[in-house]
Amino acid sequence: MNPKIFFLIFNITLIILACILFFKMNNDYGKVLTGDNWQAKQYGNKYIVSLNNRSEVVSTLTDFVKTQKINVGTISGLGAVNSATLRFFNPETKQYVDKTFNEQMEISNLIGNISTKDSNEYLHIHATFGNSEYKAIAGHLMSAIINGAAEFEIEAYPNAKVERKFDSEIGLNIYDFGAKK
């Protein structure tokens, strides 16, 4: 082959490869999703979820999980709220104690999991809130109203199944994998 033609083909190939690489590096493959009080970007089985200001965290995340048909997964997030209701379970009495905090707080950490109970999506969320005195309030999250940012990540486990069952001895809805005890 004529060396000039060889170098021409070589250079064109290099330019095409560079263009493909540039396109891949700059191509955001995230799919934009929207719903009631939330918007999200989907990257495979991972989602970046933003909740609208003044929305309620637990019901809005539940709506997201239901519309995306996520039966098993993990949740993490941060943001700010002006009200939060936390639940404490007393294992001795098997009684719940709920307490509402009406003040501006940072969601300094929120962690949760998604499973099903009676085949319905079941979100179990715990959260730590930091108040204006930099003190932490933490517990099982019943509800919270966003007042500021609301940035969550959800990872789904496609085709997974994790059911819960009420355990009368413990007094809670516990994972039931069907394993013999």
Please, what is the minimum distance in Å from the beta carbon of residue 153 to Fe ion? Answer: 20
Contact 79, 107 (CB under 8 A): yes
Of 63-71, 76-84, 112-120, 133-141, the window that binds Fe ion (rule: CB under 5 A) is: 133-141
Q: Taking the complex as a whole, how short is the minimal distance between the CB of residue 43 and Fe ion, in angstroms?
A: 28
Q: Cβ 172 to Fe ion, closest distance in Å?
A: 8
- Find the binder of Fe ion among 138, 140, 142, 155 (CB under 5 A): 140
Q: In the 3-class helix/strand/coil scheme, how is 94-147 assigned residue by residue?
A: CEEEEEEECCCEEEEEEEEEEEEECCEEEEEEEEEEECCCCCEEEEEEEEEEEE
Taking the least distance from each CB to Fe ion, the nearer of 46 and 140 is 140
Count residues near Fe ion (CB under 5 A). Answer: 1
Position with the least CB separation from Fe ion: 140
Q: Which is nearer to Fe ion, 142 or 149 (CB)?
A: 142
Which chain residues interact with Fe ion by CB under 5 A?
140
